């Protein structure tokens, strides 16, 4: 449902593009139940990423991204599910159109995500998603479709 709302929210999004030679990002959060969109359920998580070379473009429901060498790790949990992962990628490019996403790259994603509506597992970039998100990947290259 969140992905459908995102698609509705981005339908009239203007075009935008960015490029970075190097990048880092960290995030940690702990939300209690609040009467605000996106914060109704208690949730907590941490995330960190760093890389060399990143280009991104978006327009309406379309997005494309290319990255050079990068690494990231994260974990989160809420009442509906939990996930933990680590990723190291030599290079990758992805494109999405609404609920469809394809990725080409060489990566060793390892992690698991479990929720009320889906299950995802990857070891060394090879794995699957089953449920509200269906997909397969092999060494960092794959595709997925978000059903709801």
Arithmetic mean of pLDDT, 69-90: 96
- Residues with Cβ within 8 Å of 41's Cβ and at least 6 positions away in sequence, in order, are 31, 33, 78, 79, 80
Query: Considering just the CA atoms, what is the radius of gyration of the chain in Å?
Result: 16
The confidence band for 2, taking pLDDT boundaries of 50, 70 and 90, is: low
CB 133 within 8 A of CB 120: yes
**Residue 142 in this model has a pLDDT that exceeds 80:** yes
pLDDT, tens only, 125-137: 999 999 989 999 9
Q: What is the pLDDT of residue 139?
A: 94
Arithmetic mean of pLDDT, 117-144: 95
pLDDT, tens only, 25-79: 999 999 888 777 667 788 999 999 999 999 999 999 999 999 999 999 999 999 8
Residue 5 is given by DSSP the state H
Average pLDDT value for the chain:
91
pLDDT, tens only, 3-32: 666 667 777 888 999 999 999 999 999 988
**Residue 1 in this model has a pLDDT that exceeds 60:** no
0.85 exceeded by the pTM? no
**Residue 93 in this model has a pLDDT that exceeds 70:** yes
How many other C-beta atoms are found inside a 10 Å radius of the C-beta of residue 30?
Answer: 9
């Amino acid at each position: 449902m969140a992905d459908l709302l995102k698609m509705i929210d981005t339908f009239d999004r203007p075009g935008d593009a960015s490029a970075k030679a190097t990048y880092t990002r960290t995030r940690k959060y702990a939300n209690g139940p609040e009467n605000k969109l996106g914060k109704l359920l208690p949730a907590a998580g941490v995330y960190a990423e760093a890389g060399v070379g990143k280009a991104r473009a978006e327009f309406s429901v379309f997005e494309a991204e290319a990255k050079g060498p990068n690494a990231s790790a994260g974990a989160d949990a809420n009442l509906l599910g939990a996930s933990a992962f680590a990723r190291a990628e030599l290079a990758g490019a992805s494109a999405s159109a609404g609920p469809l996403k394809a990725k080409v790259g060489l990566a060793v994603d390892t992690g698991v995500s479990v929720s009320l509506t889906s299950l995802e597992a990857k070891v060394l970039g090879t794995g699957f998603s089953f449920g509200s998100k269906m997909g397969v990947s092999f060494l960092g290259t794959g595709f997925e479709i978000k059903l709801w």
